Amino acid sequence: MSQELTGAQIMCEALIREGVEVMFGIPGGAIMPFYFAMWEYRDRLRHVLCRHEQGAGHAAEGYARSTGRIGVCIGTSGPGVTNLVTPVADAMMDSTPLLAICGQVGSHVLGKDAFQETDITGITMPITKHNYLVKNASELAYVFKEAIYIATTGRPGPVLIDITKDAMQKSCVPNWDRKLDLPGYKPTYQPNRKQLREALKLLRQARKPLIIAGNGVIMAGAHAELRHFAERLRLPVITTLHGIGAFPEEHPLSLGMPGMHGWVHCNRAIQECDVLFNIGGRFDDRVTGKASTFAPNAKVIHVDIDPSEIGKNVKVDVPIVADARMALQALLDELPVKEELADLHAHASDWMEYIRELQDKHQGKQQYINRAAVQNMALPPHDVYAALNRHIAERGNIIVVTDVGQHQMWAAQLLDWNAGPRSHITSGGAATMGFSVPAALGVAIAHPDKTVWVVCGDGGFQMTNQEMATIIQEGIKNIKVAVINNGYLGMVRQWQELFENKRYSGTPLSGPNFAKLAEAYYWKGMTVEHTNQVQAAIEEAQATNGPVLIDFRVEREVNVFPMVPQNASIGDMITENSGA
Amino acid sequence: MKKHTIVALVQDQPGVLSRVIGLIRRRGYNIESLAVGHSEQPSISRLTIVVESTQVEQVVKQLYRLIEVIKVSDVTDDPTVEREMVLLKLHAPISVRHEIVAMCGVFDAKIVDVGSSTMIIEMSGTPSKVQNFIDTIRSYGIKEMMRTGRIAMVRGSRGHNADQYVESGNGATAPVAN
Ligand SMILES: Cc1ncc(C[n+]2csc(CCOP(=O)(O)OP(=O)(O)O)c2C)c(N)n1
Ligand SMILES: [Mg+2]
């Protein structure tokens, strides 16, 4: 193609070349040339007009996390792009491939405090994998290609491109053929064989081996390999918050979630194991508790695609820098025949039996859902999850998006996660309240054939619920929102109850009538106040051909247990009986 | 806290210095000195950073996360040649000039400017020798001083050759920790 195009046209062409189909954004002065050009590409490049740039960013994240493809969001210079800062930071923390396209003032006034100018590349330097300031139309073809390559390869992450208005308006003949030249960026995908053998040696000699699986397994599409590997060695598997979906919970080797609100048996298994094989998790402090007391008896094998994660929080004995799937594949190739694993199998089976005994002794999922403490409440939050479980099991084809707080931890703990990778979408590393409704918008667009259930707190819901209008305008029908309405910023209130003598400073929270609010947005709205209405409401929501919100007015002061207090060892959990 | 000398090769792009410094700042470490300039390759700049830190290995690994950072190493315990340069403007009335000239002779320093009551002296050497010189000459009255910060190069065939990272594309990946 030797035709002259405007910079903005080049941007559209570049996105189409990279397989982008949807973008989420809001226009404004500096980005207008892009919107002008977008119009002629609208059949191939769908633009979803959001109500707030934060919503656009989270929607792009939802799209990316549920597909593994790049999510694209757009904002105009100044407040438009500063509104994108939160989702960009969120994407950084959770390694989400996100492209933020930002309009910037004209290059001739750059740095002169022009109208709506902000230094967004300066602001986002520490929260992007990489960012660019583009002042010439001739650079755009290359920069877009490079940016999407960087965002989606290695450890994925957000990349931001700030483009001056004149660079979008000027014309040139784009050069699509320029080869990527990134001498400082060569992600390591293939594992080092020597380290692999070292890891296998450790595992074979283990008496109490344990796998922790994290987000890396899901991003690498390594769930099948993980399953083979665990089954061949018969190792118990723990899945972190972002590892949910990497290993089916109904599998006999699955233990569940570790960490601050993980199960006692998971944390105890970590504390007692002698070899810990972490695949694609980053030993976040919500997993490790006080890091110096974490897994004190374990030799640690850590597989991560990002070398800077290795040894960052936990001392590692065998580092393996690799893509999770390639590492597991290579490990499977190196496995000895079954007979040679007899010793390991014997030890692993004793160990598993021991962990299951621990599990029976401590409150696990079933006991937690059905416990007496909540039996006399009109609507314990747990009953909503129990009903959702029944619904998901019957219906299938559901993706759950959660927000941040107690309801999020209950979802991770209490729902039965058997639907495979990318069936659980949440904000983990940044824990961004307000993530869920806009993220669900992106998920629903990417998966029109599935139903997206949002589980959200009354606090987080009030941060971004304006995207209900976007959902209607886009004609999206497959979103159902369950607000777990406890009238508090519940997670903070829980800490105040447990550690600050119930000083509920800044946590009691009122809201509008959520069902009526939903109706005002042309959604269907329902209110549920009693346990015996829960199942019917969920089924009605599912049967409704359009977006539905259910306001579950749950018991107000219920806590998430078990719990590791901040900076404590994960071996010291507060359980329901020892706690409040 | 131990002082570490880090040598880095980076792509010569706007903002790259900001990224490198930002990453170190984020950890709360103080940069004692920083020298930047061209390497043997015009598209690649070379940095020497002196930083006080207990976890320099982690800093080095995180620097590799930056897309434009090509190679980084902590050369503190390697055999290196280290140099620093200083420009000093001294209070130098006629009466003491001969003493200053003699002192410069001892330290291999050059007098590069002479004013009516001042002299500018240029001196380079190992950072400790530069420090010695400054301490010795200080009594004459330093009116202005500028130190360049340390630059370092590993001795022998190992080191930070920038040529290999251009065109051929068989550049560095972050080292596998071991
Ligand atoms: C944007 C943002 N602000 C503040 C917080 C701190 N925070 C964490 S959980 C929480 C309470 C959430 O309340 P709600 O959405 O009602 O959920 P609940 O815990 O009650 O289920 C708060 C305020 C946060 N994570 N994100
Ligand atoms: Mg709440």
Q: Secondary structure of A445-459 in the HEC alphabet?
A: HHCCCCEEEEEEEHH
Cβ <8 Å between A195 and B176: yes
3-state SS, chain B, equals: CCEEEEEEEEECCCCHHHHHHHHHHHCCCCEEEEEEEECCCCCEEEEEEEEECCCHHHHHHHHHHCCCEEEEEECCCCCEEEEEEEEEEEECCHHHHHHHHHHHHHHCCEEEEECCCEEEEEEEECHHHHHHHHHHHHHHCEEEEEECCCEEEECCCCCCCCHHHCCCCCCCCCCCCC
Q: Is the pLDDT of residue B149 over 80?
A: yes
DSSP summary character for residue A565: P
B54 confidence band (pLDDT: 50, 70, 90): confident
Confidence (pLDDT) at A566: 86
pLDDT at residue B170, as a whole number: 40
CA of A456 to the centre of ligand 1 (A): 10
Q: Which CATH superfamily is domain B81-151 in?
A: ACT-like. Chain A, domain 2 (3.30.70.1150)
Q: What is the pLDDT of residue A579?
A: 44
| Predicted pLDDT at B131 | 97
d(CA A410, CA A419): 17
Q: Rounded to the nearest 10 degrees, what angle do helices A324-334 and A193-205 cross at?
A: 60
| Per-residue pLDDT at A236 | 98
Do residue B64 and residue A307 have CB atoms under 8 angstroms apart? yes
pLDDT (average), residues B32-38: 95
CATH placement of domain B3-78+155-169: 3.30.70.260
**Cα A468 to ligand 1 centroid, rounded to whole Å:** 20
A278–B contact, CB cutoff 8 A: no
Residue A98's SS3 state is strand
- For A462-520, the three-class secondary structure string (H helix, E strand, C coil) is HHHCCHHHHHHHCCCCCEEEEEEECCECHHHHHHHHHHCCCCCCCCECCCCCHHHHHHH
pLDDT value of residue B27: 86
The answer to whether A321 faces chain B, any CB pair under 8 Å, is: yes
Contact: B177, A187; criterion CB under 8 Å? no
pLDDT score for A20: 98
pTM, whole model, 2 decimals?
Answer: 0.95
Helices (H), A234-323: 264-272, 285-288
pLDDT attached to residue A366: 75
Give me the domains of chain A, ranges plus CATH numbers.
5-172 (3.40.50.970), 193-363 (3.40.50.1220), 367-553 (3.40.50.970)
Write out residues 11-40 of B within 8 Å (CB-CB) of A: 11, 14-15, 18-19, 22-23, 26
B48-63: average pLDDT: 91
Q: Can you list the residues of chain A whose pLDDT is less than 70?
A: 1, 372-373, 577-580
Domains B3-78+155-169 and B81-151 alike in fold: yes
- ipTM of this complex prediction, to 2 decimal places: 0.89
The answer to whether B65 contacts A308, with C-beta atoms less than 8 Å apart, is yes
Q: How far apart are CA B178 and CA B159, in angstroms?
A: 20
**Does the pLDDT value for residue B50 go beyond 90?**
yes
Which ligand 1 atom is the nearest neighbour of the CA of A404? 9
Instruction: Please check whether residue A16 touches B, CB under 8 A.
Output: no
Ligand 1, atom 24, lies closest to the CA of: A433
- Which residue of chain A is at minimal alpha-carbon distance from B25? A126
Q: Which residues of A113-135 are buried (b: 16+ CB within 10 A; e: fewer)?
A: eeebbbebbebbbebbbbbbbbb
Give A172's strand partners. Answer: A5
Residue A442 CA to ligand 1 center (angstroms) comes to 22
Taking the C-alpha atoms of A11, A12, A17 and A18 in order, what is their torsion angle to the nearest 10 degrees?
70
pLDDT at B176 over 60: no
Q: What is the mean pLDDT of residues B118-143?
A: 96
Residue given tokens 């199960």 in the structure block: A263
Domain ranges of chain B: 3-78+155-169, 81-151
| Band of residue B171 on the pLDDT scale cut at 50, 70, 90 | very low
